[in-house]
Amino acid sequence: MSATVIDGKAFAASVREKVAGHVARLKEEHGITPGLAVVLVGEDPASQVYVRSKGKMTVEVGMNSYEHKLEADTSEADLLALIDRLNKDADVHGILVQLPLPGHLDEDLVINAIDPAKDVDGFHISNVGLLGTGQKSMVPCTPLGSLMMLRDHHGALSGMNAVVIGRSNIVGKPMAQLLLGDSCTVTIAHSRTKDLPDVVRRADIVVAAVGRPEMVPGDWIKEGATVIDVGINRIDAPEKGTNEDGSVKTRLVGDCHYESCAERAGAITPVPGGVGPMTIACLLANTVTACCRANGLAEPEGLTA
């Protein structure tokens, strides 16, 4: 069997198009432009790339983008003061503090200082609790994007066996909650799970989110299962030769071994071009949702969990 490749790039483009439509309507009918504030502390190169691309796509769908770049040694008090200002700013509907933060800053404290209604990452304890109890919340972007792709591919997920590999607050735990919300039977596996291959072999849906390159081989995958690969790992690719500075070229791989998993799976997300592009699309979707809620307007259909 050869798997259907789930095209996250095309799916994300369609989500952004829908978002742009809602933004245009908010502007025309209500005179409101949704705004997203992104806060970056320090100069982590990967975070800089993400933040730049978030800002660019925010503007592309017609929303206002507010970028706040702070020095790596910014004090917790100064960061909290900025969050307080953004919480009170009526033009800002979404606030995202890029993680990881430099070591001297308490991530939990900072995230929980964001107004939960503006917490477009869905990381605030209020949103975590709302999601866990099946109430309306802001839903973390990567799990939301993964859920959208699963629903699009399968229709209803009810009764399916889902295994989530990874228990992070950003992906694993909220992903499990969303799958449970869609009536899957959910197992959360992690580094201490016994007989992981056998656990994965029972899954109709496998979501891999551990950050270990090509950790899941094809023979762990049940014939016909759907594989959502959240991992984005850069590995050496000596077969591609060397760069001008003599360093070895690299390539991106997921947490699943793509070729062997694709032979057994019914459907699979590629890396790159699978879950990755959905994350920012869902961030934009969450910002529109937050803006509609803040203004007492009906929220867009199909863009939330």
Name the pairing type of β-strands 185-189 and 205-208: unpaired
Nearest Cα to Cα of residue 286 among 304, 270, 268: 304
Residue 28 Cα distances to 53, 93, 123, 135, 248, angstroms? 26, 18, 32, 31, 52
In the complex with ligand GUN, which residue's Cβ is closer, 122 or 266? 122
Characterise 158 by phi-psi region: left (phi > 0), alpha (psi -120 to 50), beta (else): beta
| Residue 49 one-letter amino acid | V
Which residues, numbered 43-72, are part of the site for ligand GUN (CB under 6 A)? Answer: none
69 is catalytic: no
Residue found under tokens 């291959």: 197
48 is catalytic: no
Which of 18, 98, 118, 204 is catalytic? The answer is: 98
98 is catalytic: yes
User: Which residues make Cβ contacts (< 8 Å) with residue 105, sequence separation at least 6?
Assistant: 41, 74, 76, 79
Q: How far is the CB of 183 from ligand GUN (least distance, A)?
A: 26
In the complex with ligand GUN, which residue's Cβ is closer, 74 or 142? 142
Does position 286 bind ligand GUN by CB under 6 A?
A: no
- Among 51, 79, 96, 262, which residue interacts with ligand GUN (rule: CB under 6 A)? 96
Nearest Cα to Cα of residue 166 among 174, 178, 157: 174
In the complex with ligand GUN, which residue's Cβ is closer, 49 or 248? 49
- Among 99, 130, 196, 294, which residue interacts with ligand GUN (rule: CB under 6 A)? 99
Task: DSSP letter for 272, please.
Answer: S
Stretch that binds ligand GUN, among 71-79, 92-100, 150-158, 263-271 (CB under 6 A): 92-100
- Write out the catalytic residue numbers: 54, 98, 121
Residues of the shown chain interacting with ligand GUN in the complex, contacts defined by CB under 6 A: 96-99, 121, 141-142, 170
